C-alpha cells in the first residue's frame, strides 16, 4: 500500500470514528498514531506522541484561547448578558418579531465578548426563549432564532475558530479576528431582515408584546449595557490599532471583564471560581483535540499528502473558484455529521496546500471556513446549537421543531457565503487597513 492511499484510509477511519460519536481527540489521535505506526513503526509513533503535546502547548499564540474563554465566562456569570437582551427588547419591540430581532442582536453583542457559539446560544436561550414563548411566539421561530444567532459567536471576534485557524495556517490571528467583524455584522443584519420579513408574512408567529416601555426605561436599559461595548473596545481596538497582539488583547480583555464584573457587583468568589473552571474545562477540551490534530498533521506530512494535493491542483489546472466550490461542498456535507473543530482540523491538511497552489488569500479562506462551520452548527442531524437549545427548553419544544425553525436561517447563511465568495473585500477591507499584524 502506498503512503497516499494509507493517508486517505486513516482519514476515513477518523471521520468514521467521529461519525459514531467517538470523541474527536480520540478519533484523530488513534487514526494518526496507527498510520504513523504502519508507515514508520511503533517506536516512531510513540516518539511522536511524546513530543507533540509539548510542541503544541509551547505555542504562544494559543494562549489567547483560555483568555478569550475566561472573558466570555466572566461576562456571562457577571450578569452582562441580561442587560443586552433587555435593552434590545425595549428598543426593538415595535418591529415585527421584535423580541426575536432583539434576541438576534443581543446574541451578536454577547458574541463579541464570549468567542463561543455554544456559549452564546446557551446564554441567550435562557433569557430570550422563555420571554418569546410567554408572548405566544411560534416555538419554531423562537428557538430557531436563538440557535442561529448563537452561531454569530463563531464569526464576530473574539472567535476561537479564528485562533485555531490562524495557528494551523500560520496566518496572523489579529487579521483574522478583524476580518470577521463585517461578515459577522452582515450575518446578524440579514438574520434580522429574515425575521422581520417572516413575521410580516406570518403575523401570528410573533404577536406584539403588551408592555410598552417608556422613553426613560429605554435609555436606562441602554445605560446598563456599557460593559460589553467597553470589552469590545478593549479587545478589538487594541488589535486593530496595532497596540496589542491577539494574545495580549485576550489577556487584557479577560482582566477588564473581571474588573467590570466586580465594579458592577456581579462577581463574587463562587462566580469567579466557576468562571475559571468553565474556561479550564473548555481549554482542556480544545487543546486535547488540537494535540491530536498535530499528530494528524505529522502523519500526513510523513505520507507526503500536502505535496500530493498541491500537485493534484496544479496538474488538474483547477482555478481558485473551483477549489472554493470543492471546499464549500465538503464543509456542507461534513457539517451535517461532525463537530466544527473536528471538521476544521481534519480538512485543513488537505485544503491548505490546495489554497496555496492557486494563490488564495489565507485571511479570506479563514472567514469562509468559519462561516461554513457556522452552518454546520445548525444543520441536522448533528447541529450542535440545536441540541444546546433543546437542553435549554427541555420538553417545551421538540427537537424537530427547532430544526424546522432553523431552515430559513440556514438559507440566509448560504446567501452570506455566496456574498463572501463573490466579494472578498467584505472580509479583507478591514484587515488590510490594520496598523499592525495582530
DSSP 8-state code for residue 209: P
- Supply the Cα-derived Rg of the chain in whole angstroms: 22
Question: In percent, how much of the chain has pLDDT > 70?
Answer: 98
Local confidence band at 331 (pLDDT 50, 70, 90 cut-offs)? very high
Local confidence band at 240 (pLDDT 50, 70, 90 cut-offs)? confident
Q: Of 76, 256, 238, whose CA–CA distance to 150 is shortest?
A: 76
Asked if residue 42 is part of any domain, the answer here is no
Write the Ramachandran bin of 212: left for phi over 0, alpha for psi from -120 to 50, otherwise beta: beta
Asked if residue 38 is part of any domain, the answer here is no
Local confidence band at 273 (pLDDT 50, 70, 90 cut-offs)? very high
Asked if residue 36 is part of any domain, the answer here is no
Asked if residue 359 is part of any domain, the answer here is yes
Would you say residue 340 has pLDDT above 80?
A: yes
Q: Buried b vs exposed e over 153-188: b needs ≥16 C-beta within 10 Å? A: bbbbbbbbbbbbbbbbbebbbbbbbbbbbbbbebbb
What domain count does the chain have? 1
Question: Average pLDDT, stretch 376-405?
Answer: 90
Residue bearing the bigger pLDDT, 79 or 274: 274
User: Tell me, what's the pLDDT at 320?
Assistant: 93
Average pLDDT over the chain, rounded to an integer: 88
Supply 59's cell numbers. Answer: 505555542
Q: Buried b vs exposed e over 19-36: b needs ≥16 C-beta within 10 Å? A: eeeebbbebbbbbbbbbb
User: Tell me, what's the pLDDT at 436?
Assistant: 58
Q: Of 143, 73, 136, whose CA–CA distance to 110 is shortest?
A: 73
Would you say residue 116 has pLDDT above 80?
A: no
Q: What's the Cα-to-Cα distance from 103 to each of 131, 137, 404, rounded to whole Å?
A: 10, 13, 18
Local confidence band at 400 (pLDDT 50, 70, 90 cut-offs)? very high
Q: Please state, as a whole number, how many other Cβ atoms lie within 10 Å of the Cβ of residue 240.
A: 23
User: Tell me, what's the pLDDT at 437?
Assistant: 57
Residue position matching grid coordinates 473574539: 158
Residue bearing the bigger pLDDT, 178 or 343: 178
Q: Where in the sequence is the domain holding 213, given as residue range(s)?
A: 60-285+306-432
Local confidence band at 338 (pLDDT 50, 70, 90 cut-offs)? confident
User: Tell me, what's the pLDDT at 438?
Assistant: 55
Would you say residue 165 has pLDDT above 60?
A: yes
User: Tell me, what's the pLDDT at 102?
Assistant: 92
pLDDT digits (tens, 9 = 90+) for 27-66: 888 999 999 999 889 998 888 888 877 777 767 777 888 8
User: Tell me, what's the pLDDT at 343?
Assistant: 85
Sign of CA dihedral 336, 338, 340, 344: negative
Asked if residue 409 is part of any domain, the answer here is yes
Would you say residue 328 has pLDDT above 90?
A: yes
Local confidence band at 15 (pLDDT 50, 70, 90 cut-offs)? confident
Question: Average pLDDT, stretch 307-312?
Answer: 84
Question: Average pLDDT, stretch 355-368?
Answer: 95
Asked if residue 171 is part of any domain, the answer here is yes
User: Tell me, what's the pLDDT at 52?
Assistant: 78
Question: In percent, how much of the chain has pLDDT > 90?
Answer: 38
Asked if residue 297 is part of any domain, the answer here is no
Q: Please state, as a whole number, how many other Cβ atoms lie within 10 Å of the Cβ of residue 254.
A: 25
Asked if residue 28 is part of any domain, the answer here is no
Amino acid at each position: 500500500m502506498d503512503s497516499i492511499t494509507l493517508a486517505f484510509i486513516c482519514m476515513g477511519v477518523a471521520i468514521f470514528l467521529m461519525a459514531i460519536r467517538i470523541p474527536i481527540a480520540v478519533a484523530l489521535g488513534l487514526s494518526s498514531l496507527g498510520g504513523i505506526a504502519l508507515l514508520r513503526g511503533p517506536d516512531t509513533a510513540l516518539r511522536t506522541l511524546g513530543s507533540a503535546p509539548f510542541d503544541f502547548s509551547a505555542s504562544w499564540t494559543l494562549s489567547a484561547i483560555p483568555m478569550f474563554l475566561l472573558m466570555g465566562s466572566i461576562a456571562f456569570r457577571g450578569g452582562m448578558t441580561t442587560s443586552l437582551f433587555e435593552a434590545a427588547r425595549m428598543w426593538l419591540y415595535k418591529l415585527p418579531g421584535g423580541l426575536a430581532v432583539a434576541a438576534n442582536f443581543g446574541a451578536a453583542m454577547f458574541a463579541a465578548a464570549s468567542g463561543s457559539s455554544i456559549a452564546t446560544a446557551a446564554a441567550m436561550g435562557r433569557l430570550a426563549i422563555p420571554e418569546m414563548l410567554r408572548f405566544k411566539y411560534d416555538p419554531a421561530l423562537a428557538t430557531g432564532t436563538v440557535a442561529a444567532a448563537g452561531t454569530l459567536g463563531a464569526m464576530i471576534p473574539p472567535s476561537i475558530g479564528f485562533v485555531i485557524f490562524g495557528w494551523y495556517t500560520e496566518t496572523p490571528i489579529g487579521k483574522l479576528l478583524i476580518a470577521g467583524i463585517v461578515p459577522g455584522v452582515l450575518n446578524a443584519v440579514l438574520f434580522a431582515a429574515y425575521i422581520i420579513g417572516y413575521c410580516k408574512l406570518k403575523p401570528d408567529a410573533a404577536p406584539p408584546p403588551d408592555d410598552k416601555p417608556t422613553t426613560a426605561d429605554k435609555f436606562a436599559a441602554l445605560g446598563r449595557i456599557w460593559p460589553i461595548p467597553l470589552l469590545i473596545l478593549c479587545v478589538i481596538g487594541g488589535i486593530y490599532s496595532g497596540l496589542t497582539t491577539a494574545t495580549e488583547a485576550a489577556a487584557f480583555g479577560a482582566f477588564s471583564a473581571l474588573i467590570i464584573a466586580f465594579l458592577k457587583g456581579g462577581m463574587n468568589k463562587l462566580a469567579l471560581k466557576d468562571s475559571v473552571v468553565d474556561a479550564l474545562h473548555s481549554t482542556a477540551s480544545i487543546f486535547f483535540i488540537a494535540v491530536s490534530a498535530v499528530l494528524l498533521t505529522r502523519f500526513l506530512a510523513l505520507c507526503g499528502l500536502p505535496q500530493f494535493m498541491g500537485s493534484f491542483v496544479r496538474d488538474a489546472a483547477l482555478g481558485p473558484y473551483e477549489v472554493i466550490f470543492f471546499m464549500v461542498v465538503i464543509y456542507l456535507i461534513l457539517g451535517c455529521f461532525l463537530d466544527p473543530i473536528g471538521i476544521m482540523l481534519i480538512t485543513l491538511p488537505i485544503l491548505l496546500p490546495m489554497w496555496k497552489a492557486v494563490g488564495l488569500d489565507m485571511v479570506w479562506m479563514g472567514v469562509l471556513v468559519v462561516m461554513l462551520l457556522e452552518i454546520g452548527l445548525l444543520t441536522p442531524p448533528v447541529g450542535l446549537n440545536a441540541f444546546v437549545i433543546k437542553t435549554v427548553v427541555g420538553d417545551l419544544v421538540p427537537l424537530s421543531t427547532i430544526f424546522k425553525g432553523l431552515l430559513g436561517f440556514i438559507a440566509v447563511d448560504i446567501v452570506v457565503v455566496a456574498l463572501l465568495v463573490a466579494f472578498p473585500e467584505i472580509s479583507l477591507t478591514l484587515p488590510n487597513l490594520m496598523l499592525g499584524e495582530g
